[in-house]
Structure 1
């Protein structure tokens, strides 16, 4: 059992005792103006105060021990919850050795809780089983006509997406290269975007916290490109005279105006000075303007901004990659939306990275938009009755769970990423799913996708020097009032445990110590 850190006795006193102690201290300071106490009485007063402090410590320890006995949790966990001012009623835990008939810990385990990003475990396991680890998303480029002898494509070209969550510049370059190798050199028409694989409502404008330019809030799209996020890298030059600004991905309509001046001194609030003003211009270009000073002490910094619409982003990315590959346009192409016409000529098709690799990115780095892309893809591929929607995906996953024998009456699926105030699952149901996943044919792939404690992903800086480091594979989750943990811990006794822990409370952010204590306790074999 972990030892509780020592704290000054005064901090553990009830309010009346704390006031009494404060009075005693004040009297001592002002002793010259007070009638001196007789030595015997003074000693008795000190002894009585010490006795009260010891009683308070015993009462506090007794409370922790009672909570531990009632929940089955170790005292280190219940004590950490008390220090964070999180009541046991706001937490749920389920710990079971893989294959054991009975849980080692089960507290509030069947109460549906907001799981935050641990909901990605449900989405990725469903995707791996329903679509298969080798599933690849398809992005296609069509044209109104076959390229002429001189390589001119007369008419429009059509980009049709099927929700690839990792259509990044390197992948777009492959799509373009295939079209160029097929003989296309010049496009004499517009770029038409076919985004019909996802329902129009899939994009939406809702964000969980109103931060619409944060990358984690990007909404899904059938033609998601580079996570719809611009990454600006600000770097002072080695000579200490100028500040360089680079941006990825390249967008044809984007122009950077760098007016930053390099200064000396403390770095301070670098972000406010290194965040550009992004403004569309009358000629159709978009200008990102950097102004003000930037301290060389800041070194290289990166600013990520989710800006522009999905349509503008993919159009600019395609045009830039076409030109980078040596392709030309008879005139700057316009941007349109529409379906690929029947009989259109296929210029190029590109299959993205396999789902098994994508799942690693989703879980290791808790990528919300990639999880949402997968969630919608599951519905679209398994139910071909129409464009993807969150409702259709939720129905498909519920039917799949039922076939697995995992009926979950308290499960609430919203977008599949956990970036939601609506999603719910109980610790017990999540543990059942983790047990099922481990026994499945995709168990290794799923476990391999989870962050490793103290090693990588969202757990790379957690308990790095603890004995449990390197022996726990867990998905984390945090929202303003949620802290969550779900996955596997390999214990010193050779057993593997399924561990699920949820806290739903305004003080959840202060309760990481409770989850850390739980992981270390399980690692020691849940003694």
Structure 2
């Protein structure tokens, strides 16, 4: 019932208005793209393409351009561009420590409050510096509890995403949180030092125990994929990580997992670093709100939003994108909004309307593309790219996207082709989706907005189809 009401609420925003095109348009697939589709055994009807000139007059090309498609992570294009204009390029998030009692002689006689502000990039280095500031403000010992204030976001109740039905501990599945610490990632390093197997975890959270079952092998060439397996087992008082497999002398293995819930991870990370700094917290961990009478002891600011969107787009970080989406909602929330997801959807639709756009196919659920519900058409995405091209923050936005054959998720694609370094392209991948969206140059140095999204039950190898779209734009510009 609640899911149906949510979808009805989303649909209520879809007012059928369009932005008229001001360029001549065609509808075709280049011959090399058709050949690539045939080689991948993918139907042309699975592919949607929009190519629009930006820096000079030319012919646009729209193929299946008004079909509602799942954009996968190219949805981050809309979220990050909207954030630049709705929050501002210098927007920052805050994370605070408060006390509800006096500090005397290095002792906080009361509770220590850890208040989150939705920072997408509160990593271990930043947390360490924040705790150093707490020490610098005279605190060494806390007699009360560690209280986590996670009330900044009004969290939506969204269905869990598990595209392949696999490991729920994968870092890319981490959900957003007001007090997101280090993307809730645990780094597990296994080493064979002279026949002795050492397993370490970072941060060294006390509630994560390691069961080391790895067998040491004699000296050998270190494999690219070491035979080390990780199996987390949740227990009533924490998590046991069973590590088994084989590892040759002098070799190591590294992996990242999400093992704990948000409050357990945040509290565990604070306690681990605080102990390393020589501090102690005598009380328990619990959740609560900072009292109005509490005193601010230490505060940390995130990097500017322009740096955050670079991380999101270059490396397609789902958790950070979802944090950003909810941050838009938190800023523009009204009493009528059920949660910050609904508030973000409303704010983004209003923003698009002010620019003369109402995308009838656009459906946003969490803003990251890690969703089966999110939808857009390539024509709508191309209009958004055209608007971004004219934005006062165009340079910041374009530079956040991966460079073809150079960095981010495009670093291994289109190498040794004329497209090296010629495009800023966001990628998207789900089990049945392959997508690209961004800005690309042709051989004359003119810019185009390019969107190509393929929805097909078996899109394996079809990234080559999308690369052919970019190569055709480069080699065969249709400018006037």
Same fold (TM over 0.5): yes
Partner of 1:476: 427
**Which of the residues 376, 381, 386 maps onto 2:331?**
381
1:181 positional shift: 1.1
Partner of 2:352: 401
User: CA distance change for structure 1 residues 276 and 507 in 2, over 3 Å: closer, same or farther?
Assistant: closer
Question: How far apart are the structure 1 equivalents of 2:317 and 2:111?
Answer: 34
**Which of the residues 284, 299, 306 maps onto 2:258?**
306
1:448 positional shift: 0.6
For these two proteins, the number of residue pairs brought into alignment is 450
Counterparts of 1:107-256 in structure 2, within 5 Å, are 107-148=63-104, 150-201=105-156, 205-210=160-165, 211-237=167-193, 239=194, 241-256=195-210
1:494 positional shift: 1.7
Task: Report the RMSD for the aligned CA atoms in angstroms.
Answer: 2.3
Deviates more, 1:342-351 or 1:272-281: 272-281
Matched, 1:467 2:398: no
CA contact (8 A) 2:239 2:260 kept: no
Partner of 2:294: 344
1:483 positional shift: 0.6
Question: How far apart are the structure 2 equivalents of 1:342 and 1:171?
Answer: 26
1:506 positional shift: 1.1
Partner of 2:454: 503
Partner of 1:427: 378
Partner of 1:263: 217
Partner of 1:295: 248
User: CA distance change for structure 1 residues 206 and 477 in 2, over 3 Å: closer, same or farther?
Assistant: closer
1:481 positional shift: 0.6
User: CA distance change for structure 1 residues 405 and 202 in 2, over 3 Å: closer, same or farther?
Assistant: same
Matched, 1:441 2:392: yes
Question: How far apart are the structure 1 equivalents of 2:376 and 2:239?
Answer: 43
Report the TM-score, using the length of structure 1 for normalisation. Answer: 0.81
Partner of 1:516: 467
Secondary structure (helix, strand or coil) at the match of 2:460 reads helix
User: CA distance change for structure 1 residues 119 and 205 in 2, over 3 Å: closer, same or farther?
Assistant: closer
Counterparts of 1:22-101 in structure 2, within 5 Å, are 71-99=27-55
Gaps of at least 5 residues in structure 1 are 1-69
Deviates more, 1:208-217 or 1:337-346: 208-217
CA contact (8 A) 2:69 2:375 kept: yes
State the Cα deviation string for residues 127-173 of structure 1 (Å, max 9, x = none): 1111111111111111111312x121112111111111111111111
User: CA distance change for structure 1 residues 310 and 203 in 2, over 3 Å: closer, same or farther?
Assistant: farther
Deviates more, 1:412-421 or 1:193-202: 193-202
1:381 positional shift: 1.1
Question: How far apart are the structure 1 equivalents of 2:74 and 2:59?
Answer: 20
State the Cα deviation string for residues 53-110 of structure 1 (Å, max 9, x = none): xxxxxxxxxxxxxxxxx94322000111122222222111011110556643111112
User: CA distance change for structure 1 residues 285 and 423 in 2, over 3 Å: closer, same or farther?
Assistant: closer
CA contact (8 A) 2:228 2:253 kept: no
CA contact (8 A) 1:414 1:420 kept: yes
Deviates more, 1:264-273 or 1:205-214: 264-273
State the Cα deviation string for residues 333-362 of structure 1 (Å, max 9, x = none): 312111111211111111112111111110
Secondary structure (helix, strand or coil) at the match of 1:509 reads coil
CA contact (8 A) 2:55 2:446 kept: no
User: CA distance change for structure 1 residues 289 and 269 in 2, over 3 Å: closer, same or farther?
Assistant: farther
**More strand by proportion, 1 or 2?**
2
State the Cα deviation string for residues 196-218 of structure 1 (Å, max 9, x = none): 11224458755344331111111
User: CA distance change for structure 1 residues 307 and 122 in 2, over 3 Å: closer, same or farther?
Assistant: same
**Which of the residues 420, 439, 442 maps onto 1:491?**
442
**More helix by proportion, 1 or 2?**
1
**Which of the residues 271, 278, 288 maps onto 1:319?**
271
1:320 positional shift: 1.1
User: CA distance change for structure 1 residues 203 and 233 in 2, over 3 Å: closer, same or farther?
Assistant: farther
Question: How far apart are the structure 2 equivalents of 1:423 and 1:82?
Answer: 28
